[in-house]
Copies of this chain bind each other. A is one copy, B any other.
Amino acid sequence: MKQNIYDNNTFFRKYQEIRAREHNYNILLEQPNFLALLPSLKNKIVLDIGCGVGDFAAYCLKLGAKYVTGIDISSNMIAHAKKHHVHDNLFFEQVAFEEMTVPAETIDFIGSSLAFHYIADFQLLIKKISTALCEGGVLLFSIEHPIVSANMGKDNWITTAEGNLLYFAIDNYQLEGLRTQHWLVDNVVKYHRTLSTIVNTLIEHGLQIEKMVEPIPTKDAVSNLQNLNREFRRPSFLIIRAKKQILTKM
């Protein structure tokens, strides 16, 4: 079942508050590492899965993409995106990727920032992505790191009585599937996959891994947001770039 948490108005308001902060995990950690792995988008057909408010989709156009489509399950997000980013070659659609019909081998680049952990059927997701990509096309995505997503929604930093961090607790790593947690509101639904499931699913669908990043914050980032120091102790995010293999005709 697909959860559309971003159309929960309490959630959306709180989410916008976090994102409006100058110093947050996205701006300081995930986005710079994600964007550093972008291939050339010059004249490319681009799809952004889980586009949110459309900033990344608009950015792809600035980088020279021919057409960019951003999709998101949330009407709040899509309304915001359509309002703030208007361009003839930029399209936003409220739809779940699982339900979208994409003609085979029509897309050069698929990007997705911190959205895949909301999607229940990872096999179907990657199968559809692989089908949609042209040969040599690139998928770039970031997700919650499996070390973090493994846990059952507990706060997993173990502290002393004084509140000093001792270590991060991990559990249930091999039990894949639904995780319900409190993040801004109760009952946010996410899905945990092991690292090997993520990697093997890509490979089985002809997507060859080119780069894997577990982001580390810069000194500047840590000086702006002290909590980022924790990233040296365990990673929050996993970013993977993979390329659809070119089948050589023998």
Contact = CB atoms under 8 A, between A and B. Distances in A.
A248 B246 CA distance: 11
B166 A168 contact: no
A93 B213 CA distance: 37
B212 A195 contact: yes
A233 interface: yes
Interface in A211-250: 211-214, 216, 231-235, 248
Interface string A164-196: 001111111111000000000000000000111
Interface stretch (A6-14, A97-105, A129-137, A202-210): A202-210
A209 B168 CA distance: 29
Copies in the complex: 2
A51 interface: no
Contacts of A147: 147, 170, 173
Contact of A199 (B173, B209, B248): B209
Contacts of A18: none
A172 B208 contact: no
B175 A232 contact: yes
- Among A166, A203, A211, A212, residue most surrounded by chain B Cβ atoms (within 10 Å): A212
A171 B171 CA distance: 14
B171 A234 contact: yes
A158 interface: yes
Given A158-B158, A196-B214, A203-B210, A171 B168 contact: yes
Interface string A120-163: 00000000000000000000000000010010000010100000
Contacts of A211: 200, 203
B174 A199 contact: no
A170 B173 contact: no
A238 to B, nearest CB: 8
A214 B166 contact: no
5 closest residue pairs by CB, A with B: A167-B169, A167-B171, A196-B212, A174-B232, A199-B212
21 contacts: A147-B170, A156-B167, A158-B169, A166-B169, A167-B170, A167-B171, A168-B169, A168-B170, A169-B170, A170-B170, A170-B233, A171-B233, A172-B232, A173-B214, A174-B231, A174-B235, A175-B232, A194-B214, A195-B195, A199-B199, A248-B248
